[in-house]
Chains A and B, each alone.
Chain A
Amino acid sequence: MTESIQFTLNGKSVKFDGDGERTLLWVLRIDFGLTGAKYGCGEGLCGSCTVLLDGEAVPSCQIAAKDVGDSQVTTIEGLESEGKLHPIQDAFVRKDALQCGFCTPGMILKAQGLLNENPNPSRQEIIDGMEDNLCRCGAHVRIVEAIESAAKAMKGGIK
């Protein structure tokens, strides 16, 4: 059924007019044209669709549009600021923490969600925190290094 759902998307106030039951992943990709969040499995098992919902990393394939009303949604497109990479993005580049790149937006947002909860994670806490995100290319070692590096760079909080 058609609803009018207002929420904040990458810092901007937006409105979605449509079926509130529709999956957030597809609303983002099609209705809002933000194709950074990817379909990997459709069942919340791979993390490729991860976005931030009020700062928490969630699988957007498991969220309905109506569940984001009055909330803040951040996609990978929202991390850059005036052409400058977010520290986590920058760390992924510097640490060569990607290959095919398909899981990468999800990984970066999952990492941001992790750092939101725990700005100074140990290596094991990073591993535990990222466990739900899959990477078939096997970039795990460098992803962990990138997140360690980003945490250091972001020391003192922010975002």
Chain B
Amino acid sequence: MMSKQSIIDHDGHQIYLSGSVSRREFLKRMGILGGGLVIGFCVGNPLVSARMKREGFLGAGIPKDFNAFLRIGTDERVTCLTGKIEMGQGPITSLPQMLADELDVSYDAVDIIMGDTDLCPWDAGTFGSLTTRHFGIFLREAAAEAKGVLFQMAAEQLKVPVEVLKAENGRIIVNGQPEKQITYGRLTKGKIIERVLTDLPPLKPASELTVMGKSFFRQDSRVKVTGKAEYAGDIRLPGMLYAKILRPPRHGAKLKHAEPSGAETIKGAQVVREGDFIAVLHEYPDMAEKALARVKAEFDEPRTGIDDVTIFDHLLKNAPAPRISSEAGNLDTGKGQSAITVEETYLDGYVAHAPMEPHTATARMDGKKMTVWVSTQRPYGDQERVSRELNIPKDQVRIITPFVGGGFGGKTVCHQAVEAARLAKMTGRPVQVAWNRAEEFFYDAFRPAGVVKITSGLNSKGQLVYWDYNVYFAGKRGSEPNYAIPHHRISCYADWRGPGVEAHPFAVGPWRAPANNTNVFAREMHMNLTAEKAKADPLAFRLAHLKDKRMIGVMEAVAKAFKWTPATVPSGRGYGIACGIDAGTYVASMAEVAVDKATGVVNVKRVVCAQDMGFVVNPQGSRIQMEGCITMGLGYALSEEIHFKDGKITDTNFDTYPLPRFSWVPKIETVIVDNPDLPPQGGGEPAIIVMGGVIATAIHDATGAKLLQQPMTPERVKKAIESVRG
């Protein structure tokens, strides 16, 4: 019995999520099965590369043929094809908006297939807030080119010059003679459009867009509220087995010997072994788990002596050479001009991605073809790995991405895909590997811990003239000074990848807005401490050092919405302020907190966030992402840090790793600053970068305390308050 149909009714529309669309079904729907056509990508238009550059890791693999991005069905429905995936951030809605607008079809006529390596154009992965601002351009260009070709075809069919034609709602019409028209579907007859254009039409200017810029409800709401939405763990295949894999007790441990036979005392349990890779398989996942517990194993467990307290000294001792990310003037000159200097060291711990859906994959091998349904942000990356590690030709590996239950950067690496595929290949049965919460914590590639050392200097006029910023291991993104400081140097020692990662006792990786969260926390806290020395209002102090119009714009917007009134910091009001840049988007937040000085518990009462993200494709969707970022950001600011000792991750569930709850959520106001002439910028990440900074500065304003470490747990806040000299 095949898995649930993924052709889902949504208010009468049909949406594919690639869950189980077979290539055959797809071709049939497109009306091109049995047509004797060559399926695949025809010769790309060399002129296309003259437009949006297809270069580098993100762009070089993106197809040139516009047919890779869209298909027009004989039923007049248009299918958007994208290698991006849907993990809650909303492209399932916004990409059809972009396609509909550029192609001049009704939004309601667009379906979308996402993250299926057999059907969709190559994509580097869904990360970096790139879906709208990078992929979106290729999609629109493909639509513009397709439409241009349709115009030519229509001109021939209708026997009129191209100039008298207009496109409207999926058809080409002769101006002034509406009876002379032809639909896209009749023009293309479901076939791949084999023409190319010599002159590429321009994209529509912002003033002509009618679908982009409007708020649309999510396309996938109905299937998600009814439980019909399929995630990788919901895929059910005949003969499928659930696998539980023997895991080491700590990072760095090596299997000495294992005695798995105990597992087979559970009826129906099957042990599979290849070297140190030992898995227990069963028809029922709970029984597989029970059986795994009966496997006896002994490990060599080296003790590193590194834990969540000693890690910072360890990292500093193992820092690689620095790279300068920004520099101006001369540090010695700046130091010389400084009447007052402020020097502090900031610490930030490791943070888990902790998506609600753990890493999951379901794999099936049919003859030579391996199909894996993966909860992933990088289907093509997974295809590459499965192919390489299991020695299967890449064109025989199909990765299908169902709905993903959260990613946040943590599903850019998906070991479980290889694990499931390996077991499917070994057993000849479909196999599902679903990590439990302890595995999810253990194998996470955490946001790297970091240290930031800042020395700032004020001249006798109270102006910030000197800024020596050194960020260790957290990363470069967002490390730029943001403020106009004449003598500054930003030095970055290691990032989440590249030289230095080996200093971490386990894997690290990209976490929502990598590095920016730590950098904004340190920078903004330090700005507040510097403003305090200058006896200044923290908003006025920041504005006095801003030259960038977009940054001034968001600061003024947030101050207006927050109803900021000037006061020197600390004012006792508990008002925080933080700003930064991420993925091309400028963001500024203000917060009001109430601090219980006896316990150190912080109540975030309200947060106002202003964001300039250029042209906004889906305003509602953008606000929802801002709210999500603000809420998620409360975690790394107040409670989230991974506890570990000697390679053991002592956090195995949410009891010791607290996520933000309903009672934590402040009153949130989101302000989108209008900037429609700028192409769309990042939306999924920017608003999270300011949360640590805005809460730290708010606590500082409330109590005068210096918050020098994230997360700002009650114990740390209490200690910081106690350190304030009366």
Q: A96-B217, A96-B620 are in contact. Are A22 and B286 (CB under 8 A)?
A: yes
Nearest-neighbour CB distance to chain A for B597, whole angstroms, equals: 24
Interface size band for A? 35 or more
The interface of chain B, by Cβ under 8 A from chain A, is 87-90, 217-218, 220-231, 233-234, 236, 283-287, 354-358, 403-406, 408, 434, 436-437, 620, 624, 627-632, 653-655, 659-663, 665, 668
A30 at the interface (CB under 8 A from B): yes
Q: A45-B653, A134-B356 are in contact. Are A142 and B225 (CB under 8 A)?
A: no
Q: By the criterion CB–CB under 8 Å, are A98 and B662 in contact?
A: no
A59 at the interface (CB under 8 A from B): no
Q: By the criterion CB–CB under 8 Å, are A80 and B226 in contact?
A: yes
Q: A42-B437, A137-B632 are in contact. Are A33 and B236 (CB under 8 A)?
A: yes
The docked-state distance in angstroms from the alpha carbon of A33 to that of B237 is 11
Q: By the criterion CB–CB under 8 Å, are A39 and B221 in contact?
A: no
Instruction: Pick the 5 closest A-B CB pairs, nearest first.
Output: A36-B227, A138-B631, A102-B405, A100-B88, A101-B224
Q: By the criterion CB–CB under 8 Å, are B406 and A137 in contact?
A: yes
Nearest-neighbour CB distance to chain A for B513, whole angstroms, equals: 14
Pick the contact of B354 from A35, A43, A103, A136 — CB < 8 Å?
A: A136
Residue of A nearest to B87 (CB): A100
B-contacting residues, A116-145, CB 8 Å:
126-128, 130-131, 133-144
The docked-state distance in angstroms from the alpha carbon of A83 to that of B223 is 12
A-B contact pairs, 18 of them (CB 8 A): A22-B287, A26-B286, A30-B283, A36-B228, A42-B437, A42-B653, A76-B225, A85-B225, A89-B225, A96-B217, A96-B221, A99-B90, A100-B403, A102-B357, A135-B631, A136-B355, A138-B632, A142-B624
- A18-34 vs B, CB cutoff 8 Å, 1 = contact: the mask equals 00001100100111011
Q: By the criterion CB–CB under 8 Å, are B406 and A30 in contact?
A: no
Q: By the criterion CB–CB under 8 Å, are B284 and A41 in contact?
A: no
Q: By the criterion CB–CB under 8 Å, are B405 and A100 in contact?
A: yes
- A28-60 vs B, CB cutoff 8 Å, 1 = contact: the mask equals 011101111111111101101000000000000
Instruction: List residues of chain A with CB within 8 A of the CB of B225.
Output: 76, 85, 89, 92-93, 98, 101, 104-105, 108
A77 at the interface (CB under 8 A from B): yes
Counting chain A CB atoms within 10 Å of each CB, which of B406, B629, B662 scores highest?
Answer: B662
Residue of B nearest to A139 (CB): B628
Q: By the criterion CB–CB under 8 Å, are A140 and B631 in contact?
A: yes
The docked-state distance in angstroms from the alpha carbon of A35 to that of B88 is 19
Residue of A nearest to B217 (CB): A96
Nearest-neighbour CB distance to chain B for A89, whole angstroms, equals: 4
Instruction: List residues of chain A with CB within 8 A of the CB of B662.
Output: 126-127, 130-131, 133, 140, 143-144
A75 at the interface (CB under 8 A from B): yes
Q: A22-B286, A26-B286, A40-B437 are in contact. Are A134 and B659 (CB under 8 A)?
A: yes
The interface of chain A, by Cβ under 8 A from chain B, is 22-23, 26, 29-31, 33-43, 45-46, 48, 75-77, 79-80, 85, 89, 92-94, 96, 98-105, 108, 126-128, 130-131, 133-144
Q: By the criterion CB–CB under 8 Å, are A93 and B217 in contact?
A: yes
Instruction: List residues of chain A with CB within 8 A of the CB of B405.
Output: 38, 100-102
Pick the contact of A136 from B234, B408, B630 — CB < 8 Å?
A: B408
Nearest-neighbour CB distance to chain A for B384, whole angstroms, equals: 25
Nearest-neighbour CB distance to chain B for A10, whole angstroms, equals: 11
Chain B binding site: helix, strand, loop or mixed by DSSP? loop
Q: A22-B284, A26-B286 are in contact. Are A93 and B221 (CB under 8 A)?
A: yes
Q: By the criterion CB–CB under 8 Å, are A100 and B90 in contact?
A: no
Nearest-neighbour CB distance to chain A for B62, whole angstroms, equals: 26
Q: A85-B226, A134-B654 are in contact. Are A101 and B663 (CB under 8 A)?
A: no
Q: By the criterion CB–CB under 8 Å, are A101 and B286 in contact?
A: no
The docked-state distance in angstroms from the alpha carbon of A35 to that of B661 is 25
Instruction: List residues of chain A with CB within 8 A of the CB of B630.
Output: 138
Q: A98-B221, A100-B404, A127-B662 are in contact. Are A135 and B236 (CB under 8 A)?
A: no
If A96-B218, A138-B630 are given as contacts, then 13 extra A-B residue pairs at C-beta distance below 8 Å, sorted by A number, are: A35-B233, A40-B358, A93-B221, A101-B223, A102-B231, A104-B224, A105-B227, A136-B632, A138-B631, A138-B660, A141-B627, A141-B665, A141-B668
Nearest-neighbour CB distance to chain A for B359, whole angstroms, equals: 12
Q: By the criterion CB–CB under 8 Å, are A138 and B227 in contact?
A: no
Q: By the criterion CB–CB under 8 Å, are A77 and B218 in contact?
A: no
Q: By the criterion CB–CB under 8 Å, are B628 and A138 in contact?
A: yes
Instruction: List residues of chain A with CB within 8 A of the CB of B665.
Output: 140-141
Q: By the criterion CB–CB under 8 Å, are A101 and B222 in contact?
A: no
The docked-state distance in angstroms from the alpha carbon of A30 to that of B283 is 9
The docked-state distance in angstroms from the alpha carbon of A77 to that of B404 is 20
Residue of B nearest to A41 (CB): B437
Nearest-neighbour CB distance to chain B for A134, whole angstroms, equals: 5
Counting chain B CB atoms within 10 Å of each CB, which of A92, A126, A133, A140 scores highest?
Answer: A140
The docked-state distance in angstroms from the alpha carbon of A105 to that of B230 is 12
The docked-state distance in angstroms from the alpha carbon of A136 to that of B406 is 7
Q: By the criterion CB–CB under 8 Å, are B434 and A142 in contact?
A: no
The docked-state distance in angstroms from the alpha carbon of A93 to that of B283 is 35
Residue of A nearest to B670 (CB): A141
The docked-state distance in angstroms from the alpha carbon of A98 to that of B226 is 12
Q: By the criterion CB–CB under 8 Å, are A38 and B661 in contact?
A: no
Instruction: List residues of chain B with CB within 8 A of the CB of A127.
Output: 662-663
Counting chain B CB atoms within 10 Å of each CB, which of A23, A31, A103, A141 scores highest?
Answer: A141
Instruction: List residues of chain B with CB within 8 A of the CB of A142.
Output: 624, 627
Q: By the criterion CB–CB under 8 Å, are B358 and A39 in contact?
A: yes
Residue of A nearest to B235 (CB): A35
Instruction: List residues of chain B with CB within 8 A of the CB of A137.
Output: 88, 356, 406, 628, 632
Pick the contact of B356 from A36, A130, A135 — CB < 8 Å?
A: A135
Instruction: List residues of chain B with CB within 8 A of the CB of A130.
Output: 662
Q: By the criterion CB–CB under 8 Å, are A136 and B224 in contact?
A: no
Residue of A nearest to B226 (CB): A80
Q: By the criterion CB–CB under 8 Å, are B231 and A38 in contact?
A: yes
Q: By the criterion CB–CB under 8 Å, are B284 and A101 in contact?
A: no
The docked-state distance in angstroms from the alpha carbon of A41 to that of B434 is 12
The docked-state distance in angstroms from the alpha carbon of A94 to that of B222 is 10
Instruction: List residues of chain B with CB within 8 A of the CB of A140.
Output: 631, 660, 662, 665
Instruction: List residues of chain A with CB within 8 A of the CB of B624.
Output: 96, 99, 139, 142
Residue of A nearest to B631 (CB): A138
Instruction: List residues of chain A with CB within 8 A of the CB of B406.
Output: 100, 102, 136-137
